[in-house]
Amino acid sequence: MIENTKCECGHNNPIGTILCEYCGKPLDEGQQEKKSIEKEMRYDGVARRSQKKEQNFLDRVWSFFSSVKVAIILIVITLLASGIGTIFEQERLTGSSDPESYYIEKYGVWGEWYYKLGFSDMYNSWWFATLLAMIGVSLVICSLDRVVPLYRALKNQTVPKSTHFILRQRISHQETLKAEDKEEKWKKLIGALKKKRYEVRQEGNSILAEKGRISRWGPYINHIGLIIFLVGVLLRFIVPGWYLEQALYIREGETLRLPDTPYYLKNEKFTVEMYEGEFSNVPKNYQTDAILYEKDKNGQLVPVHRHAIRVNHPLEYNELFLVQADYQMETTGLKLKVIEKQTKKNLGTFSVDFQKISANQVYKVGDLEIRALEYYPDFVLQNGRPATQSQEPNLPAFVFEVKAKGANEGEKSWVISGQDTSSLTPQNKYEIDLEGIETALSSGLLIRVDQSLPIIFAGGFICLIGLVMGFYWHHRRIWIKYEDGKIYLGSHTNKSWYSLRREIDQIAEQSGLRLKLTQE
Amino acid sequence: MERLMENLLLFTFILYLCAFIAFAIAISGKKIKDQKKKERRWGNIAIGVTIAGVACHLAFTITRILVTGHFPTSNMFEFTTFLCFAIVLAFIVIFFIYRSVVLGAFAMPLALIILAYAAVFPREVQPLIPALQSYWLVIHVGLTALASGMFAVGFVAGLIYLINQVGNQKQGRNGFFLEIILLATLMFVGFIFTNLISSSMGYEAQIAHIVDGEQQVQSYEIPPLVGPADGQVQKMTPFLGLDKPLMEAPAWMKGHESAKLLNSTLWGILVGLLLYGLIRLIARKRISSLLHPLIKDWNPELIDEISYRSTAIAFPIFTLGALIFAMIWAHEAWGRFWGWDPKEVWALITWLFYSAYLHLRLSRGWHGIRSAWLVVGGFLVIMFNQIFINLVVSGLHSYA
Ligand code: HEM
């Protein structure tokens, strides 16, 4: 619709321009009829790429993503999806290996559909990621689409505007002013504007007073912050070694390699502390006194860092991050007693430590020497043969050899936790029974490496700076012109019109204009 | 010291109440010639009392810190009390920008309701569990509460705008939904009333039931209209001749407190309806048309701007407190800055909702009624997070 880009004032405008960049007059015939040009004022009528008339495929994609309507729809869909994800707990939290039946059992038909529709793992789903990615793309394109026009609009501001432009502002005013009074009023007006901290530019009989321009950059900076944030999140998935999350249980005294890292960690001491008195069931402190090691060239462990890891006080070393997350009681061994079958006499006890079981280890009870010949941490019978399902001592079973001191030959004795095994070896002289279990606290640590954190937090803070700029400042402009015995005033802001009106009222009062825009 | 603390809170409540009355006087009355003068005089008194109230509230907060040794935002009572403080503080800030007396007449009752709601929760001092022992507790929760207070003022302005515009409409969806919002507020008040009255009269009932194969006892402080499914009454003070629950909660509500919550909700609804019925009976009008005359002479554009401005002031604070600082703290305490915990998700939803509002308003020109509905909706989202998510959906954040 906009063909001629040359304004009456003689200025040549880029194609797509709505208001002349120089004098502000609408270029389009249809526009000139309008009573208000408030809509066009957003970017002072500067051309935007997304509003090109002829569009190829790329232009269409561009227009799609630069549209605020589309952005709002994306935001609302993300919002709804996030909300749906909190109706039932997410799969990750159920701790169930068969989530489908978990949901069906717990929530019936609703649970079934919740699972089937993929809501139970909402935040890891590909389409949720796609939504975020689309918001990201939208942010980039929409910012590019507008930041250039905005820059042009704010950079090229001219002071004298056509009266057409001034009178079609949302706030506009005209009154007659005798030429001899003009000088005095003009001075007062400039004084009042300056008092309100406007930056005043004058050219002949025109004034442009402006303040809070910084506010206009706010949204762009906040969108850039969001883009940086999203890029930071994206990098975690695509750069190898950038991101790591592992849980580790480590017992007091133990030294373990931290999986997928070059480090080793020793738990010197683990403390659980409760409050005293009335609140003895409320925990006060969880603490792992830890030493971090690295291997040197000779394969020796060298301590590099010591830290008391507590909740809210993680260990930080280079990119590594260790957080106190949990603790658990672990069975570390069994206490066993030896009974002489005939007399039912308890001959004494011995303890086996699961970590230190070997056929060479000899346990002594009285005159007897006992060795563990076989050990099955997680006992099962497979085809009638003993075997172990895992290395976790879930159901420990042993074959012990019990031998009198100096004797050549001993007898074999089965111990399977939770089972009476005396019938397996009826001829035995001795029987080994469970006396108790030995436990130790094992500290649960979370191992984290997250190299994108600086990017993510930087993004967050940039976003914040943009928000503060955008919301705690207001871009206000006032155009004043004296022409043919009349004074014209027009004003524009990007938001908070009422406050602007009130401010103009005050300025008018101080400079003696007959203008009252607000009432309470 | 603890006596002093209790008294300070009571005194705060009284001052807020007085401030509310003064604001109400300031805006009431016919538009006589002296109206402006009267409005100014009573407005000044009212804001003075409000500031005294806030000072008193601050004194309470400080004594509470001295007594407990931590910043009082660690359980429902403490957080809700602080939220009330934030609302009043936000109102004072906005008052000094716009000098709007009518805002006070509606913001103060909201603050009072929130403070009364705080009193529903147990007040005793609890020590902090390790996860909360951090200066981030003040920074994150404090800022989030301040932002919520500011959003609340936006909500109040939105509500005033709606009453101003559609309060006297007997037909149409706007008028209908406005009345629903006011009715819901009454129900919330009803819920608070029953709780406070019943527990101050020492009402008690205990009902045992089986949850996941274990027996649990629910103690009711208000008469159980609804008991848990397959519950066994162990002890119950008779209420109007009732010695066992009127009915049982549906079996799927088996969470250990959910029947109790359902019961309180039901009481809230009943008492709310009762109050509503009484008002309708006496005034023979909708509440919104009852309030309309008080507000109809105020400039709607000003109120619209107040609702936007409060929201705009709150948004960066919320971003900082509820998202950025929350992430930093979560990173330190739990080793991940974001874990899709329900409370976190709802903070994100709140933020997305308000950002949609801002885009709609700034870029698509949604002003006036639509904008007012959005700020009302935004505050409902905040309250939903505060109440429902805290009490019903358990996650890492439900400490209280
Ligand atoms: C969740 C993501 C987003 C947030 C939190 C956000 C936040 C904001 C905020 C706070 C403003 C300032 C509003 C005001 O001053 O009242 C704004 C303005 C704006 N946003 Fe966004 N935004 C987001 C996403 C997007 C996207 C995806 C687009 C893409 C089209 C977009 C386009 C705009 C535009 C065009 C403006 C107006 C800028 C101007 O004043 O010239 N926003 N945004």
In the three-class reduction of DSSP (H, G, I as helix; E, B as strand; rest coil), residue A169 is classed as coil
Residues forming a β-bridge with A442 = A251, A328
> Where in chain B does DSSP place strands (E)?
205-211, 214-220, 226-227, 232-236, 247-248
Distance from the Cα of B302 to chain A's closest Cα (Å) equals 6
Query: Are residues B269 and B292 located together in one domain of the fold?
Result: no
**Which of B256, B285, B314 is at the close of a domain?**
B285
Query: Are residues B99 and B234 located together in one domain of the fold?
Result: no
Cα–Cα distance measured from residue B396 to residue B400, given in angstroms and rounded to the nearest whole number: 11
Provide the pLDDT for residue B317: 96
User: Which residue's alpha carbon is at the smallest distance from atom 4 of ligand 1?
Assistant: B355
Query: Are residues B20 and B157 located together in one domain of the fold?
Result: yes
**Which of B264, B285, B306 is at the close of a domain?**
B285
Give yes or no for a contact between B149 and B89, defined as CB atoms under 8 angstroms apart.
Answer: yes
Query: Are residues B140 and B21 located together in one domain of the fold?
Result: yes
Provide the pLDDT for residue A491: 92
Residues whose CB is less than 8 angstroms from the CB of residue B282 and which lie 6 or more positions away in sequence, other chains included: none
Mean pLDDT of chain B: 86
Tell me whether residues B129 and A310 touch, CB distance under 8 A: no
Query: Are residues B129 and B249 located together in one domain of the fold?
Result: no
Residue B46 lies in a domain: yes
Tell me whether residues B356 and A72 touch, CB distance under 8 A: yes
Residue B119 lies in a domain: yes
Residue B399 lies in a domain: no
Residue of A307, A461, A472, A498 to mutate when probing chain B, most B C-beta within 10 A: A498
Query: Are residues B158 and B45 located together in one domain of the fold?
Result: yes
Provide the pLDDT for residue A442: 87
Most confident region among A98-112, B8-22, B30-44, B354-368 by mean pLDDT:
B8-22
Residues whose CB is less than 8 angstroms from the CB of residue A265 and which lie 6 or more positions away in sequence, other chains included: A248, A250, A255, A256, A258, A290, A291, A292, A293, A322, A445
H or E element at residue A352:
strand A345-353
Residue B269 lies in a domain: yes
Whether the per-residue pLDDT at B400 is higher than 50: the answer is no
Give the pLDDT confidence of A89-144 residue by residue, as tens digits.
787 777 677 778 888 887 778 888 888 888 888 888 888 889 999 999 999 998 88
Cα–Cα distance measured from residue B161 to residue B168, given in angstroms and rounded to the nearest whole number: 12
Query: Are residues B23 and B131 located together in one domain of the fold?
Result: yes
Whether the per-residue pLDDT at B399 is higher than 50: the answer is no
User: Looking at ligand 1, which atom is closest to the CA of residue B351?
Assistant: 5
Round the CA-based radius of gyration of chain A to a whole number and report it: 39
Give the pLDDT confidence of B361-372 residue by residue, as tens digits.
988 878 888 999
In the three-class reduction of DSSP (H, G, I as helix; E, B as strand; rest coil), residue B333 is classed as helix
User: Please, which pLDDT band fits residue B392 given cuts at 50, 70 and 90?
Assistant: low
Whether the per-residue pLDDT at A161 is higher than 80: the answer is yes
Q: Please give the average per-residue pLDDT across A415-423, as a whole number.
A: 79
Residue B172 lies in a domain: no
Query: Are residues B76 and B136 located together in one domain of the fold?
Result: yes
Judged on CB neighbours under 10 Å (0-12, 13-18, 19+), A117 is exposed
Q: Please give the average per-residue pLDDT across B206-217, as a whole number.
A: 75
Helix, strand and coil content of chain A, in percent to the nearest 5, comes to: 35, 35, 30
Cα–Cα distance measured from residue B258 to residue B239, given in angstroms and rounded to the nearest whole number: 21
Mean pLDDT of chain A: 85
Query: Are residues B259 and B123 located together in one domain of the fold?
Result: no
Query: Are residues B6 and B126 located together in one domain of the fold?
Result: yes
* A255-257/A263-274 β-pairing: antiparallel
Query: Are residues B201 and B257 located together in one domain of the fold?
Result: yes
Residue B71 alpha carbon to ligand 1 centre in Å: 35
Cα–Cα distance measured from residue B368 to residue A106, given in angstroms and rounded to the nearest whole number: 45
Q: Give the single-character DSSP code of B231.
A: -
> Could you tell me the sign of the dihedral formed by the alpha carbons of B122, B126, B131, B132, in that order?
positive
Residue B228 lies in a domain: yes
Residues forming a β-bridge with A176 = A486
Cα–Cα distance measured from residue B163 to residue B249, given in angstroms and rounded to the nearest whole number: 37
Cα–Cα distance measured from residue A397 to residue A297, given in angstroms and rounded to the nearest whole number: 41
Q: Please give the average per-residue pLDDT across A251-270, as a whole number.
A: 88
User: Looking at ligand 1, which atom is closest to the CA of residue A135?
Assistant: 27
Tell me whether residues B131 and A311 touch, CB distance under 8 A: yes
In the three-class reduction of DSSP (H, G, I as helix; E, B as strand; rest coil), residue B188 is classed as helix
Give the pLDDT confidence of B77-127 residue by residue, as tens digits.
999 999 999 999 999 999 999 988 899 999 999 999 999 999 888 888 888
Residue A460 alpha carbon to ligand 1 centre in Å: 15
Residues whose CB is less than 8 angstroms from the CB of residue B32 and which lie 6 or more positions away in sequence, other chains included: none
Give the pLDDT confidence of B289-300 residue by residue, as tens digits.
888 888 887 888
Residue B104 lies in a domain: yes
Give the pLDDT confidence of B274-288 residue by residue, as tens digits.
999 999 999 888 888
Tell me whether residues B129 and A283 touch, CB distance under 8 A: yes
Q: Domain range for residue B123?
A: 2-167+286-391
Full 3-state SS string of A35-85: CCCCHHHHHCCCCCHHHCCCCCHHHHHHHHHHCHHHHHHHHHHHHHHHHHC
Query: Are residues B252 and B241 located together in one domain of the fold?
Result: yes
Tell me whether residues A518 and B309 touch, CB distance under 8 A: no
Provide the pLDDT for residue A107: 78
Q: From B305, which residue of chain A is nearest by alpha-carbon distance? A: A496
Q: Find, among B10, B20, B382, B387, the residue nearest to B187 by Cα.
A: B387
Give yes or no for a contact between A511 and A185, defined as CB atoms under 8 angstroms apart.
Answer: yes
Provide the pLDDT for residue B393: 60
Q: Is A492 touching B (CB cutoff 8 A)? A: no
Round the CA-based radius of gyration of chain B to a whole number and report it: 22
> Could you tell me the sign of the dihedral formed by the alpha carbons of A317, A321, A326, A329, in that order?
negative
Give the pLDDT confidence of A13-53 residue by residue, as tens digits.
877 788 887 788 887 766 666 667 777 777 777 778 777 66
What letter represents residue A385's amino acid?
Answer: R
**Which of B259, B285, B311 is at the close of a domain?**
B285
Q: In the numeric block, which tokens belong to residue A465?
A: 């700076």
Cα–Cα distance measured from residue A100 to residue A511, given in angstroms and rounded to the nearest whole number: 75
Most confident region among A182-186, B44-48, B69-73 by mean pLDDT:
B44-48
Cα–Cα distance measured from residue B217 to residue B223, given in angstroms and rounded to the nearest whole number: 15
Q: From B252, which residue of chain A is nearest by alpha-carbon distance? A: A107
Domain count for chain B, please give it. Answer: 2
- Its ipTM equals 0.88
Inter-CA distances, A502 with A470, B122, B193, Å: 21, 47, 43
For Cα atoms A197, A199, A201, give the angle at the middle one, nearest 5 degrees: 145
Q: In the numeric block, which tokens belong to residue A313?
A: 């006080």
Q: Is A99 touching B (CB cutoff 8 A)? A: no
Ligand 1: residue of B359, B364, B375 to mutate (most ligand atoms within 8 A of CB) is B359
Give the pLDDT confidence of B348-364 residue by residue, as tens digits.
999 999 999 999 998 88
Of A179-188, A463-472, B252-261, least confident by mean pLDDT is: B252-261
Whether the per-residue pLDDT at B232 is higher than 80: the answer is no
Residue B316 lies in a domain: yes
Q: Is B362 in the pocket of ligand 1 (CB under 6 A)?
A: yes
